[in-house]
A and B are shown apart, each in its own frame.
Chain A
Amino acid sequence: MTLSGIDYFIIIFYLVGTVSLGIYIGRKMKSGKDYFLAGRSLPWWAIGMSLVVTDIGAVDMVGIAGAAYLYGIVLGNYDWLGSVPVMIVGAFLFIPMFWRSKVSTIPEWLGARYNQSVRTISALIWGVVTAFGLGVTLYATALMFNLLLDLNPKILLVTESQTVREQVVDATGAGKTHDFIFIKDLNKVDQVIASKDPNLVLIQGDWDMMGQDHRNQVFAFHENEISPEWGKAMMERARAPRWTLMYSIIIMSILIGTYTLFGGLKAVVYTDVVQCIVMLGGSLFVLFFGIYKMGGISEFVSIIQSLGPRAQNHFELILSVDTATPHPWSGIFLGLGLVLANAYWFGNQNIVQRTLAAKSEADAKASYVFGSILKLLIPFAMVIPGIIALAHNPNITDADKAMATLVKDILPTGLLGIFFAAFLAALMSSVDSALNSGSTIWTKDVYQKFVKPEATEAHLLIVGRLITAMMLGIAIFFAQFATRFESIYDLSQTILSLFQGPSLAIIVLGMLWKRATGKAALISLLSGVGFAGTLMWVNSNASIPLFKVSEPFLYIAWWSFVLSVIIVIVVSLMTPPEPESKLKGLVYRYE
């Protein structure tokens, strides 16, 4: 994607505006309560917009369109089933209960409802996963950032063999950090070197390197030489790229860290409002321009239908159990609709924290209903453009490049800048929320509880800011290691699925069933996470995988939830009930 002066102006204006707004909001910050819960002053409309934009990261913005390019509208389930109905349930059942209990974190609520062991374990799990997840998010977003701006160092591979191409990509391990340019014709090497300035040139076969201008980066090789050691040696001998992923990660971290560190949750939520408008606006521009360029809706649909079997289910929301995609209806309904969606919207500190900061219970409820209405739009803004990209160009080999290819080809100057600002908005809204919620958990549930229970609000503000800075540092450090994982999105989803099911089970039963006891919750949480971990381990180590889908996180979440519910019920009935006085205000309709 090549940006013009107007595009750069829009992007810089957006970035400077967002960071300034965050710092301006943070200037009157005086206490931990201001920092973590915005002084409980947030209105419903700001929370609603913040909820929606926080849920959509930059990886989702590009990755969902890429997945929609491959699988179609089935990706819409993640919002239409995975958000809208669940947010309605949350608005009238879970969120008001959390708000009335005046807690700062979900683990704090678990501590009040069950016991301090459940609180601590839950806080540690969330705290660690948030810090680690931030690193994964930063890394994955930097990948998308480099992809959109074409910043990745390039490797030019000259070979006629498709097999050799694949072997070289595997051996160098550069598929995630470099872009490959493949050509068959040796005579075009100089031309490609001049125009693309590759970091490394690999030419298959005997070739005289003498007399070339780019000797320091050009290597000839034979097929039988290719091995991981050879790939590593080639990468080490290549000259250093002018731009690496780490530069992108550090720049993004500084921008986001600045306003989150100063402004806390209030800055996060109000910058999210701007980001929501920019992100939805930018994505809807792509939708309308895309449909317009296709010649209208009916023309667009007929182009997709003309693509034959590969796109025959692209307008089907519900796919059969034996579908070749990772989205069978059974997994979508049970794993996503009944477990992961609920765990996310009721049990994720990232999300729930902003409703705890609502200025009234009314605002907390209204924010979720408003958010559910906004969520209706998201698949139109994120999923349909992926299908438009397929209609526009069915020959894109890397689906993650679908969105970038589409916007590059169809958007005029100026609108490219808006789209890129939308991408940055999606990135910033997710990272700032994770930073703030992680800092809240570490400060309130770990530092204040175990280190300094008598800490003043001013002291907690300082600690909160320090922890925010530390988390950012840890995330940048972790981001380097994220390169070792094949699929970043799958990794983060799989880690989440380990404890989302058990966590949801104890929250739901704790709120709806007054007989649920602390001992039962503790045993259920530990065994549920252990069971989910075992399923994941068995699935990847057994000679034949346990699950028939390639990414079984939906099923792992479902089965660990089922087991956890059973354990809570059985153990609760075997242990003495909690005192009635402890449960008032913490169990539904039990005031």
Chain B
Amino acid sequence: MNNLFLSATAIADTIANLFRGMGDVMRGWMIAIPMGVAKGVFIAYFLLLIVWIIRLNENEVTVTLENGKIIKLRPYALFSLITIIVIYIIF
């Protein structure tokens, strides 16, 4: 049983060592990113989505319900995303 345990650990260590070097390098890059830039990454992602929503065709963001009522969804979607940006700026 002990041998089995040792061999499982040895195999796991061998595989882990394959990834560890690459992982440590990437982790080093991520740690070097200033927190202000990290926050910028989040906000840039939301801004990208806002641009995508604005560029969608009108027929993709306007829906007609079964009772004939037309709803423009774009303003609501933008409201959600802009609120999120404000939240990420505050916190």
Q: Which residues of A contact B (CB under 8 A)?
A: 44, 73, 76, 80-81, 84-85, 87-89, 91-92, 315-318, 320-322, 329-330, 333, 337, 359-363, 365-366, 369-370, 372-373, 375-376, 534, 537-539, 541-544, 546-548
Contacts and interface: CB of A to CB of B under 8 A. Distances in A.
Interface string B72-91: 01001101110110011001
B23 to A, nearest CB: 7
Contacts of A333: 38, 41-42, 45
A544 B19 CA distance: 12
Contacts of B66: 359-360, 362-363
Interface residues of B, number: 42
Contacts of A320: 31, 35, 38
B12 A81 contact: no
Contacts of B61: 92
Contact of A376 (B9, B31, B46, B84): B84
Given A76-B91, A362-B63, A541-B8, A91 B16 contact: no
Contacts of B11: 541
Contacts of A372: 77, 80
B3 interface: no
Most chain A beta carbons < 10 A, residue from B23, B45, B77 = B77
A259 B34 CA distance: 52
A329 B42 CA distance: 9
A359 B45 CA distance: 32
B12 A541 contact: yes
A366 B46 contact: no
A88 B77 contact: yes
Across the A-B interface, give the 7 residue pairs with the lowest CB-CB distance, nearest first.
A362-B63, A541-B12, A542-B16, A542-B12, A317-B91, A372-B80, A321-B30
Given A376-B84, A541-B9, A542-B16, A315 B91 contact: yes
Q: Which DSSP category, helix, strand, loop or mixed, fits chain A's interface?
A: helix
Contact of B91 (A73, A85, A373, A542): A73
Nearest to B77: A88
B23 A84 contact: no
Contacts of B33: 321
Interface of B: 8-9, 11-13, 15-16, 19-20, 23, 27, 30-31, 33, 35, 38-39, 41-42, 45-46, 49, 53, 56, 60-61, 63-66, 71, 73, 76-77, 79-81, 83-84, 87-88, 91
A92 B59 CA distance: 10
B81 A318 contact: no
Contacts of A318: 35, 38-39, 42, 88
Contacts of A330: 30, 38
Contacts of A376: 80, 83-84, 87
Most chain B beta carbons < 10 A, residue from A85, A87, A366 = A85
Contact of B13 (A85, A365, A543): A543
A321 B31 contact: yes
Contacts of A89: 49
A80 B87 contact: yes
A88 B91 contact: no
A301 to B, nearest CB: 12
Given A542-B12, A546-B19, A88 B65 contact: no
B35 A366 contact: no
Contact of B81 (A88, A321, A534): A88
A537 B12 contact: yes
Given A76-B91, A366-B63, A542 B13 contact: yes
Nearest to B87: A80
Contacts of B81: 84-85, 88
A362 B9 contact: no
A537 B9 CA distance: 10
A546 B63 CA distance: 48
A337 B80 contact: no
A315 to B, nearest CB: 6
Contact of B73 (A81, A91, A337, A539): A91
B80 to A, nearest CB: 4
B9 A543 contact: yes
Most chain A beta carbons < 10 A, residue from B9, B61, B64, B84 = B84
A362 B71 contact: yes
Contact of B63 (A322, A361, A373, A537): A361
Nearest to A334: B30
Contacts of B16: 538-539, 542, 544, 546
A182 B11 CA distance: 43
A55 B46 CA distance: 22
A80 to B, nearest CB: 6
